């Protein structure tokens, strides 16, 4: 009898805890439903309409016409290519540099906390500050980079001809933005890898040292395979970030010169805010969401297969 009463009281207490848990979650779920779920459905809905984004009475259903126009638009195809190049280069370089810096700071070098903070400063800065700094860095007449090429040292090394408008030249504008992005976010990848390295026992590094493995052999055979969860996190964040990149591009080039640095997000902004083509812009949003989901799913599946191998 006593046991039955105790079980009943425990169940009541457990039910009470669950109800309180849902009560605390309710405000978050309401906000999530209002601003994310409803917003997503609304964007998908208006992607099938021609609409200026202002007057609801001007909405005209046009089916898949927006998607047909989008997938045959050279500007959109260029933006996807730019995003892909941006993704591959930034993710690869940030992963490599972030991991190398994390490894160099791992042995608790003198001043390692200072260097960690120093490398992380660009991450903490506003993108506006980063863009302003690199605008001055790339400035064609008095910018640091061109001034360096025109200096006596640059003349001696034969680099004078390299001085030009880095953000105004279609052949170098995208690369200039990529460099600025790597500078800004490399510190974030360093933090991920510092956290990942804490999961590897010091005994593993000592065993590799005893076996005569050098720095690069240890990196290739011990560190790299052990950090697959970290790699997955960094790659997924990098892929999603590349697809939705807007601020650094808009502040530096606004998608120019021409469409040399056009990205899906900049094209979305121009379609909705400047050209009042909300339906067309919504179709760009839907394609961006699909790309993010597909790329993330592929990476997660690959990581799962790698773990099982």
Number of other CB atoms surrounding residue 229 within 10 Å: 13
62, 50 contact by CB (below 8 A): yes
pLDDT at position 256 is 87
pLDDT at position 157 is 86
What is the widest separation between alpha-carbon atoms in the chain? 96
pLDDT at position 202 is 78
pLDDT at position 12 is 67
What's CA 289's distance to the chain center, in Å? 14
pLDDT at position 103 is 86
Q: What is the pLDDT of residues 188-224, one digit of tens each?
A: 999 999 988 888 887 877 787 777 777 788 888 888 8
Helix-helix angle 112-124:74-105, to 10 degrees? 160
Q: Both ends of the chain: CA-CA distance in Å?
A: 53
Which are the contacts of 259, defined by CB distance < 8 A and separation ≥ 6? 75, 78, 79
pLDDT at position 180 is 95
pLDDT at position 127 is 93
Task: Flag residues of the chain having pLDDT under 50.
Answer: 1-2, 5
What's CA 91's distance to the chain center, in Å? 8
| Domain edges within the chain | 67-308
pLDDT at position 5 is 47
Tokens 């260097």 -> residue:
115
pLDDT at position 11 is 67
Q: What is the pLDDT of residues 10-47, one digit of tens each?
A: 566 677 777 887 888 888 888 888 888 888 899 999 99
Strands 60-61 and 49-50, how do they pair? antiparallel
Q: Per CATH, which fold does 67-308 belong to? A: MetI-like fold (1.10.3720)
d(CA 27, CA 296): 28
pLDDT at position 121 is 93
pTM: 0.87
Could you tell me the two tokens for 204? 């593993």
pLDDT at position 187 is 92
């Amino acid at each position: 009898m006593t046991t039955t009463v105790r079980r009943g009281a425990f169940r009541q207490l457990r039910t009470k805890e669950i109800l309180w848990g849902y009560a605390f979650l309710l405000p978050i779920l309401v906000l999530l439903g209002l601003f994310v779920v409803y917003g997503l459905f609304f964007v998908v809905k208006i992607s099938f309409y021609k609409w200026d984004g202002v007057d609801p009475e001007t909405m005209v259903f046009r089916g898949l016409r927006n998607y047909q126009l989008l997938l045959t638009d050279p500007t959109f195809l260029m933006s996807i290519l730019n995003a892909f190049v941006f993704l591959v280069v930034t993710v690869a370089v940030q992963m490599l540099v972030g991991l190398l810096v994390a490894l160099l700071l791992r042995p608790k070098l003198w001043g390692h906390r200072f260097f960690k903070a120093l490398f992380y400063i660009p991450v903490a800065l506003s993108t506006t500050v980063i863009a302003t700094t690199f605008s001055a860095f790339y400035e064609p007449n008095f910018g640091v980079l061109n001034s360096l090429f025109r200096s006596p040292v640059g003349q001696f090394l034969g680099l004078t001809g390299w001085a030009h408008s880095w953000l105004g030249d279609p052949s170098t504008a995208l690369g200039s933005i990529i460099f600025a992005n790597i500078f800004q976010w490399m510190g974030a990848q360093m933090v991920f890898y510092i956290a990942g390295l804490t999961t590897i026992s010091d005994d593993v590094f000592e065993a590799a040292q005893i076996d005569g493995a050098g720095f690069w052999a240890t990196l290739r055979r011990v560190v790299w395979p052990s950090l697959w969860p970290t790699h997955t996190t960094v790659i997924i964040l990098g892929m999603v970030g590349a697809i939705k990149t807007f601020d650094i591009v808009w502040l530096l080039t606004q998608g120019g010169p021409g469409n040399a640095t056009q990205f899906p997000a900049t094209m979305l902004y121009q379609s909705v805010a400047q050209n009042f083509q909300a339906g067309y812009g919504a179709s760009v949003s839907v394609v961006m969401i699909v790309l993010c989901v597909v790329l993330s799913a592929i990476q997660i599946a690959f990581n799962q297969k790698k773990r099982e191998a």
